[in-house]
Structure 1
């Protein structure tokens, strides 16, 4: 940068040979005395050191030499004034650069420094160079730091010290040295100034670190080129990339002041590699707990193995990935893989398959398929040396040796390489699977994973899968799950929005569209609230499938405020290696409260609540179906609930704490209620009145208790005489045990209101 060139500024004062009338003995201002004709001043043309020079004899305490010419001063302009001087005879004086500072009105700015450093002359004939830098900027290296009020200068020098000596002065030189200050003027430093080569081969890591250390609040510029970094590099300054970097896969670039997808994409040349590297850095100290994708779309051609990218298998600190879209791009890396192998299963070791043929070929995270295997059982770990596989859930009916299929879906983000990952959050991310792949595979274990305002768009097989206990305490809030199978009949769909193996999961305010199932849920302590999940189709008299599937008997779960649309809640124990009752908690702890259930264009056999025991001896022990609304459009169904006895039934002689009340039924032929209030009219006298539940008892249960009998009006005997007696009650009569008898001790007729129950209180 040189304003004498770029702006045409005239900086140099005239040479002495042009005439001493151009040089002032004072401040250089108009009217001040000139050196022309002074007896102690002469031009010398034949000096051996100077081509032409001014010879002065010092006669004043401060002898001034100033140019009458006005040298311009501008903001951003740095001027170096240089004089070459030598002593010829007499006393040896000192020399300093000096300049008179003038403002726009031509007045001297007396408060400004108007002299430079003083340099003594110590020997005769020795050429001494004296210089000073003038600028309106008060920066290191500026000798006369003026202000922007100064617009011009009269440049020159002063002789100070002892009088009588004779000196010779070469023509003064004024240079634009702004270029020397560019590095300090700019708000960036260039890594090339610290030794970076950018040739793609030489390790430039040390240069990057040196630039960062020297930046001191300025940004770092990485110019065009490919800069190889062979070690971990942490940059604590702002950074801008014109060129790119390359690194070994196990080395990290941590940008603490530009931790976003845009910068990493620029650094590594592509958004996908930038995403990988930024995700890698997220797991290390970066002054950030959040990686912002800047609202950008990242195209993935293959699954991201997050543990491999991070170089970790355990992580327990909060990290957040947010604000962007991941899009699957067609390619072979998304192809689902199937592996078939024989293995042996024993209920006594209910999470292990032994004697697994070709176990080394079976990937962790594979879905296990086979006879006697429940839904959403995954390979949690494998031991190649022992030939064993650890399962995410027990198998309900697979004792012995048999073939299994191990199906490995491909997920956009695969966390299964983590043995433990807790508090990882995905916020406002769209997983646009485009029918090519699945969404997210969770870690083997960990707690409080969180999905907030995410969209799982058209997953091929699964939205969110848990292959182990990485779903403990998981939050799935305000997310959308949009099926890739919307056009298929419900019974033909295979995709599942999510599954749960551990406890305390919150599924809230989600919208789930036309999957085979919304959620396959094991564990206890769950909250399922305010979701809308619908699984209908356009088929006349269409078949419907389960939306929520609970896979253990005692769930301690609340399902409340949901919109359950053309699907049902299924409750079984398919993840139990000994599914018959063995003294454990049986079917209990499920509270279905305040939901809206609808169905349309379905068959009369459709049910919204289905219990399916996988073994004998189980019973209801704490179940609530309260204040729900059931409504059918374009059809009528028989009833809202069902006991699936295809494998086993329930022991209704042990039912306890069943509460079914306050529900509304529209286009449902038979409502249900427990406790059940029946108004019985006995028109002919009888010693025993039979009170029929008329199908109101839930799940086809039997009457276990007559809680109250209230005669309505007068009870009469055969002679029509009023009788004031109270009957004995006998519950559980009739072929199905769904009747009760009132025994009066004599033949009676009349009317009674009877409150009876299918359960006993605990």
Structure 2
């Protein structure tokens, strides 16, 4: 900034040789005496140092020289007044810049400094330059701050000290030096002013640190150029990037005052690099607990290995957050699955391990494991020992052959955290994972605690939305997220994508919405809380098949499934991750609450069920189950036969041991058989019989037995064949008839009438 240039000001006084009539011996105001008639001054035409100059004999206590032209003073402008002079004879005086400050009304501005610093002349013939800076603003380096009332000034110099000395003065210069104050006038400093080269080769780190220190709260400008930074760089001032940084993958950039994707993308001229550098810093500084994407999209052509990006740690336990943006999978070969096959040996004493595995070195951690037999859903490679030929699994296998061929398929995820051996309290909030059918979304760390997703969209995952390959899902929280399948038009039985799997305990899956996946969640641990979700998996087929929404893969799950809208899918409870699936010294199917849900079926085949138990070995039974206050409804098709079933394709359920089972308060629409326990039915005999029998199989759930009668209450009189009322009480016997589903009432004589009978399939 220079007012002489921008505003066309004329500041420089004329040379002395042009006439002394404009040079005042007093304050410079109109009418003051000039040097044109002074007896103590004369022009020297040819001084060896100055050429034409003014020579003055000091005769007053303060001998004054002022240019009588009004030099304007403008807001934001700073002037430097300077003079070159030397002592040539007599006493050696002191010299200083002097001025007279005038208002717009031509009055002197009182109370402001009107002289500059004093300099003593110490020898003859020595050329000395004196100067002072004048401005309206009171800033550091300003010798004469005049304030906003000053409109102009008369400038020159003063001779002070002893009289009798002769001084020669080359000229008085008045220069606009506003640019010197630019850093203080503007709200930014430029790294180039501190030595940054921006040539892509020179290490500019020191210049950046110097600019940051000088900014003192102002913005640091990184002007155009390529700035190579070697080493970690922390900027404590706001930074604005016109140029870009070049840093190694391992060197970190900490922008403490604008820690967001906008700044990091600008810093590196690339959204992906900016995102990675921001995540790297998120794990390596304490000024911020969250990296904000600012609503921006980052377009990826390959997965982001988060631990490799962070580089210097594989364990982290402080809360950290990525929020507010979109990660999008671009069309690229970087999303293609890595698939390996190899034979492996399994033994029941090491149920989560395969040994003698061919091709171990090429099998990636996090690969999905499948085989012809004995591998449950969502079993992943959690580790490997190449030298020993071993592969370690996220869950036990379910009695596979001792040796068989396994397939190891590694899905590709937009964010892959599996390199972390332990990651705790990590949060992903308000992020859309736009997979576009090309990629999966998130692979969790190997181990960890309370990983959290909130208010996220998982749109079109190719294979999985959220995957756990080991125990990084412990305490997983998934709240208010949307899961939108890439298989919307596929039949339910043809879909392959899964929203999430959980291998360990205590997940909280709440208030989410999922559309047309194969499964909403495969849950292996216990302590599952599935609350307030809406997941629907129907299709357009008439009498269509349905897939499981929730899959529980162990017996005693200690879980609640409450307040969900379970739409065109079912709950499957199976012990497919049990290496010894027959009942041994263990708790059987129990610890589950299914309460207050809406189960809806639309156009499904009439044999579809809403709750299915599938034992993978003999001896299992229901041991603590509550199915209460749910709504079961079939629309637009044949009525469903019933809502409950046991899949006996591997082994039956032992219905003789059912205990602590409650199924009551449910509503059934479009369901032929209303399952209940306890069941209360009206039992009527119109012909006198001594033994009454009631088949309860239409009501007893999961093919259980009629084990207990808890009450028999007559409706009206119980009468003999001749209609004589009798007042005897029958005794009941249980487990009669087909599948032991009938109750018998034994009377003292043949009677007829009606009773309300309440029976149970369990003991409590």
TM-score higher than 0.5: yes
2:374 is matched with which residue: 369, 372, 375?
Answer: 372
Taking the aligned partners of 1:501 and 1:341, their CA distance within structure 2 comes to: 24
CA-CA distance at 1:80 after TM superposition: 1.4
The answer to which of 15-24 and 657-666 deviates more is 15-24
1:749 is matched with which residue: 740, 747, 752?
Answer: 752
1:642 aligns with 2:650: no
Contact 2:475 2:505 in 1 (8 A): yes
Taking the aligned partners of 1:439 and 1:39, their CA distance within structure 2 comes to: 94
2:659 is matched with which residue: 647, 656, 665?
Answer: 656
The answer to which of 237-246 and 636-645 deviates more is 237-246
Q: What CA deviation, in whole Å up to 9, does each residue of 1:476-502 have, x standing for no partner?
A: 111111111111111111111111111
**Map of 2:209 onto structure 1:** 209
Q: What CA deviation, in whole Å up to 9, does each residue of 1:241-281 have, x standing for no partner?
A: 22212222222112111211111112112111111111211
1:340 aligns with 2:344: no
CA-CA distance at 1:400 after TM superposition: 0.8
Q: What CA deviation, in whole Å up to 9, does each residue of 1:153-204 have, x standing for no partner?
A: 1011112122233322222111222232223333323323333322223322
The answer to which of 428-437 and 83-92 deviates more is 83-92
**Map of 2:420 onto structure 1:** 418
Contact 2:697 2:703 in 1 (8 A): no
**Map of 2:508 onto structure 1:** 506
Contact 1:290 1:321 in 2 (8 A): yes
Taking the aligned partners of 1:674 and 1:654, their CA distance within structure 2 comes to: 14
**Map of 1:220 onto structure 2:** 220
SS at match of 2:349: helix
CA-CA distance at 1:97 after TM superposition: 0.7
How does 1:258-297 map onto structure 2 within 5 Å?
A: 258-285=258-285, 287-297=287-297
**Map of 1:546 onto structure 2:** 548
Q: What CA deviation, in whole Å up to 9, does each residue of 1:361-386 have, x standing for no partner?
A: 11000001011100000001111111
1:738 aligns with 2:741: yes
**Map of 1:184 onto structure 2:** 184
The answer to which of 20-29 and 120-129 deviates more is 120-129
SS at match of 1:714: strand
SS at match of 1:171: strand
Contact 1:255 1:286 in 2 (8 A): no
2:674 is matched with which residue: 667, 671, 675?
Answer: 671
CA-CA distance at 1:751 after TM superposition: 2.0
**Map of 1:124 onto structure 2:** 124
Tell me the C-alpha RMSD between the 2 structures: 1.6
Taking the aligned partners of 2:77 and 2:741, their CA distance within structure 1 comes to: 102
1:682 aligns with 2:691: no
Taking the aligned partners of 1:84 and 1:251, their CA distance within structure 2 comes to: 52
Taking the aligned partners of 1:65 and 1:510, their CA distance within structure 2 comes to: 84
TM-score normalised according to structure 2 size: 0.97
Q: What CA deviation, in whole Å up to 9, does each residue of 1:453-495 have, x standing for no partner?
A: 1111111111111111111111111111111111111111111
Taking the aligned partners of 1:403 and 1:303, their CA distance within structure 2 comes to: 28
Matched positions, count: 761
Q: What CA deviation, in whole Å up to 9, does each residue of 1:205-260 have, x standing for no partner?
A: 23322322332222222222222222121222111222212222222112111211
SS at match of 2:150: coil
CA-CA distance at 1:286 after TM superposition: 5.1
Q: Which runs of 5+ in 2 are unaligned?
A: none
2:489 is matched with which residue: 487, 490, 503?
Answer: 487
CA-CA distance at 1:718 after TM superposition: 4.6
**Map of 1:247 onto structure 2:** 247
CA-CA distance at 1:580 after TM superposition: 0.8
TM superposition outliers: structure 1 runs of 4+ over 6 Å: none
Taking the aligned partners of 1:136 and 1:715, their CA distance within structure 2 comes to: 114
Taking the aligned partners of 2:46 and 2:292, their CA distance within structure 1 comes to: 73
Taking the aligned partners of 1:372 and 1:326, their CA distance within structure 2 comes to: 36
Contact 1:13 1:155 in 2 (8 A): no
**Map of 1:566 onto structure 2:** 568
